[in-house]
Amino acid sequence: MRVLLTGAAGFIGSHIHAALRARGHDVVAVDLMLPAAHGPGAQPPAGVRRVDVRDAAGLDLLLPGVDVVCHQAAVVGAGVDAQDAPAYAGHNDYGTAVLLAAMDRAGCGRLVLASSMVVYGEGLYRGPDGIVEVAGRRSDDLAAGRFEHRRHGVALTWAPVPEDTPARPRSLYAASKVAQEHYATAWAAATGGTVTALRYHNAYGPGMPRDTPYSGVAAIFRSALAAGRAPQVFEDGRQMRDFVHVTDIAAANVAAVEAALPGVEPLNICSGQPITIGDVARTLAAAHGGPEPVVTGAVRSGDVRHIVADPARARQVLGFTARIDPAAGLAEFASAPLRPAAAGVTVG
Ligand code: UD1
């Protein structure tokens, strides 16, 4: 198949590029090479062209003959402050809108979209009487070390999040990922196109960008260990996530490109094996040979307590099951190469 891959030089995009080529696909690989992600003056790697997805004329040259677009180009991270809003809106929302219009002009009707578990916001919780809607946690609870969501004084437990959970974006990045999904859904309705939106959970693996304010926690812990510092585990370390290896994310994209699912299909892309942040730190530290993590009790503003994926639908409709167990994958990640940090918001 002929595939237009955007964000092909990023952490996730470069793994997808390799996986698509290994399957014999004809990949038109593009990346903007933003200095904020790749460093000043960075040139595209071999086989990747410098293209901005906001450049309609540039896309018009590339899209004829393309069967499916695999859209990974995005400004990532949670957003540090309001000054990041235009970058998210420009690269993510507007870039997707320009791409969708160009796909319509070229008669390309299939989109595989990089989405994120951040669309779910707080995640899903269960009380004694079933599933409970939660808002943000109270600052007096957090200050007193009561980290779990509570209802009538009773701590709630996490539940796996299925894809039909309503979107509740809590950050600028999350707002842009929800917007991308909504634009793509409206485009599909208007054109008869199809969209597979892959909601990545916590990605990690070789080539992950180093520690920046925008990095995921695996890179932050990994960078601390490399510098001989103890990973700082916030809250009580019992907050739960699903860590999915970047080669599994690449495999899910290849499956989505090849499966050509009908309609609009959002799918959790996860390992299906949730792990606490404390165990992530302990696994990395043990494999690295120390130093031991420190559980600080600190609370980072805007953090959600638990977010755990339900992997069932991706298995049913895409036949996707992650191959890498987080315990093994994180132990290997303890000595995997990272990509050098760039100064600003990163582009995947
Ligand atoms: C992260 C990303 C989100 C991305 C998602 C999926 C950020 C800020 N968040 O969400 O954009 O879409 O993964 O890949 O980039 N923690 C520590 N010590 C630290 C740093 C963090 O204990 O030094 C804890 C946090 O308090 C949190 C957990 O680790 O409980 C996960 O943090 P992080 O990976 O940054 O954010 P997510 O909320 O999982």
Residue nearest to ligand 1 atom 8, measured at CA: 78
Residue nearest to ligand 1 atom 29, measured at CA: 217
Catalogue the active-site residues: 173
Task: Spell out the residues 6+ positions from residue 138 whose beta carbon is closer than 8 angstroms to its own.
Answer: none
At residue 219 the predicted structure's pLDDT band, cuts being 50, 70 and 90, is: very high
- Dihedral of CA atoms 323, 247, 270, 240 in degrees, nearest 10, equals 100
Give tens-digit pLDDT for 122-162. 999 999 999 998 988 999 999 999 999 999 889 999 999 99
Q: How much is the average pLDDT of 101-113?
A: 98
CA distance 286 to 289: 5
Residue nearest to ligand 1 atom 13, measured at CA: 202
In this prediction, residue 301 carries a pLDDT of 87
Asked if residue 341 has pLDDT above 80, the reply is: no
Pocket test for ligand 1, best of 202, 214, 236, 271 (most atoms within 8 A of CB): 202
In this prediction, residue 133 carries a pLDDT of 85
Q: How much is the average pLDDT of 76-98?
A: 90
Distance 343 CA to ligand 1 centre (A): 19
Phi, psi at 199, each rounded to 5° = -90, 95
Distance 216 CA to ligand 1 centre (A): 5
Task: Spell out the residues 6+ positions from residue 128 whose beta carbon is closer than 8 angstroms to its own.
Answer: 154
Strand partners, 204: 245
Count of residues making up the chain:
348
Closest atom of ligand 1 to CA, residue 77: 15
Give tens-digit pLDDT for 229-272. 999 999 999 999 999 999 999 999 999 999 999 999 999 999 99
Residue nearest to ligand 1 atom 26, measured at CA: 234
At residue 66 the predicted structure's pLDDT band, cuts being 50, 70 and 90, is: very high
At residue 78 the predicted structure's pLDDT band, cuts being 50, 70 and 90, is: low
Looking at mean pLDDT, say which of 92-106, 135-149, 215-229 comes out highest. 92-106
Distance 241 CA to ligand 1 centre (A): 9
In this prediction, residue 346 carries a pLDDT of 45
CB-based contact 225:288 (threshold 8 Å): yes
Closest atom of ligand 1 to CA, residue 231: 23
Q: Is 136 helix (H, G, I), strand (E, B) or coil?
A: coil
* Cα angle value 286/287/292 (rounded, 5°): 30
Distance 275 CA to ligand 1 centre (A): 13
Q: How much is the average pLDDT of 325-331?
A: 97
In this prediction, residue 347 carries a pLDDT of 43
In this prediction, residue 39 carries a pLDDT of 85
Closest atom of ligand 1 to CA, residue 234: 22
What are the respective helix, strand and coil percentages of the chain, to the nearest 5?
35, 20, 45
Task: Spell out the residues 6+ positions from residue 12 whose beta carbon is closer than 8 angstroms to its own.
Answer: 72, 114, 200, 203, 246, 249, 250, 348
* Residues in contact with ligand 1 (CB, 6 Å cut-off): 77-78, 116-118, 173, 200-203, 214, 216-217, 220, 232-234, 239, 241, 277, 300, 303-304
Question: Which amino acid type is present at position 116?
Answer: S
Asked if residue 25 has pLDDT above 60, the reply is: yes
Q: How much is the average pLDDT of 176-190?
A: 98
Pocket test for ligand 1, best of 122, 217, 245, 295 (most atoms within 8 A of CB): 217
Structure tokens at 336: 């995997």
In this prediction, residue 348 carries a pLDDT of 44
In this prediction, residue 304 carries a pLDDT of 95
Strand partners, 202: 243
Closest atom of ligand 1 to CA, residue 239: 30
CA distance 252 to 258: 10
CB-based contact 66:336 (threshold 8 Å): no
Distance 218 CA to ligand 1 centre (A): 8
Q: Which of 29-33, 150-154, 228-232, 282-286 is least confident?
A: 150-154
Q: Which of 31-40, 44-53, 234-243, 307-316 is least confident?
A: 31-40
Distance 217 CA to ligand 1 centre (A): 5
% of the chain residues with pLDDT over 70: 96
Closest atom of ligand 1 to CA, residue 241: 39
Question: Which amino acid type is present at position 236?
Answer: D
Q: What rounded mean pLDDT belongs to the chain?
A: 94
Q: What does pTM read for this prediction?
A: 0.96
Asked if residue 40 has pLDDT above 70, the reply is: yes
Distance 16 CA to ligand 1 centre (A): 23
